[in-house]
Amino acid sequence: MALLTVGLAEAVNRTPDGPYGQLNFGEAQLREIRYASLLHDFGKVGVREQVLVKARKLEPERLERILQRLYQRDLESINGRILEAWKNGEPFDPAYSKVLMTARQAERERIADLILRCNEPQVLPQEVVEAMDELEELGFQHWREGEARILENADISALRIPKGSLSKEERDEINSHVQKTFNFLSKIPWTGPFAQVADIAYAHHERLNGMGYPRHLKADEIPTQSKLMAICDVHDALVAADRPYKAAVSIPRSLEILEYETKAGLLDRGALNIFLEAKIYDLTKGMLNVEAVSP
């Protein structure tokens, strides 16, 4: 991020025309941008690790618990049928038992597949959304509480997340990292040419149309350095191959998304033009894996 943002600021200095034609960052200002870029996400130390790296809607232990309950439900059903036959005086029939187990296994795998599909951080197909009602009715015999639901309310709510892997509460927690970053950087007595470090980092998730966070600033309220950082931050997040909650996209695809967000009034057109013309995205190409940089 620091390499990209400083590179973009240096490219601004080399651009004689356009909206940034009269802007020139001095050496001290470039260092200020570098410090702000290096520290822009420091507040994430105050966000729970399991939320930061959450790859799917259900935590692994919650998913494992659900699958175990499904298996327990099958055993209860099979044992119940065999016990009923025994009470009716019917002899034990291994073939009948195998048929029951095969049928229950097929049903269990169908339900497990539905849960796994719902658990993916993607927009759910309508047929999957409609089938989810079935999950709310699944029950099993809890050893202590008697009849209980296989999926608890929290599980159902998580699986119904319409897009991504985070609930609103978890998304708010992650978004809080910006305020935490500012609170921390504000404690440091930045002086002279570095006085804006905290303010630059504070605004890197703001968007020109006021749809950013945490303060919903508009275009004229966002520091120019933060506008540059916003473009670099989006690109870096898209092409990064070390995020367990998302797959890396190619550089061409990242540039398409940057273009789309600029047209939507989120990112600065002048800054993106310089980013593209100066090929700032090439500055970190060698740091990416092969999948991330291929078209």
Residues 287, 175, single domain; the answer is: yes
Residues 89, 157, single domain; the answer is: yes
Residues 178, 258, single domain; the answer is: yes
Residue 291 has pLDDT above 50, yes or no: no
SS3 209: strand
Residues 153, 227, single domain; the answer is: no
Residues 289, 176, single domain; the answer is: yes
Give the percent of the chain with pLDDT over 70. 90
Contacts of 175 (CB under 8 A, 6+ apart): 205, 213, 214
Residues 79, 219, single domain; the answer is: no
pLDDT at 285: 81
Chosen domain end from 146, 163, 180: 163
Residue 265 φ/ψ region, left for φ over 0, alpha for ψ in the -120 to 50 degree band, beta for the rest: left
Contacts of 279 (CB under 8 A, 6+ apart): none
Give the percent of the chain with pLDDT over 90. 66
Residues 265, 124, single domain; the answer is: no
Residues 237, 286, single domain; the answer is: yes
Residues 197, 286, single domain; the answer is: yes
CATH number at residue 264: 1.10.3210.10
Chosen domain end from 163, 180, 211: 163
Instruction: Give helix then strand counts, H and E, for the chain.
Output: 15, 2
Chosen domain end from 163, 182, 197: 163
Residues 246, 206, single domain; the answer is: yes
Contacts of 40 (CB under 8 A, 6+ apart): 1, 181, 200, 201, 204, 229, 233
**pLDDT, average across residues 221-246:** 93
Residues 95, 132, single domain; the answer is: yes
Range of the domain at 194: 2-52+171-293
pLDDT at 145: 67
**pLDDT, average across residues 99-114:** 84
Contacts of 78 (CB under 8 A, 6+ apart): 97, 100, 101, 104
Number of domains in the chain: 2
Residue labelled with tokens 């009602």: 133
Cα dihedral sign, 113-119-120-126:
positive
**pLDDT, average across residues 179-187:** 97
Mean of pLDDT over the chain:
89
Cα–Cα distance between 194 and 113 in angstroms, integer? 54
**pTM for this entry:** 0.82
Per residue in 30-89, pLDDT (tens digit) is 999 999 999 999 999 999 999 999 999 999 999 999 999 888 887 777 666 666 666 666
Residues 177, 196, single domain; the answer is: yes
Q: What does DSSP assign to residue 46?
A: G
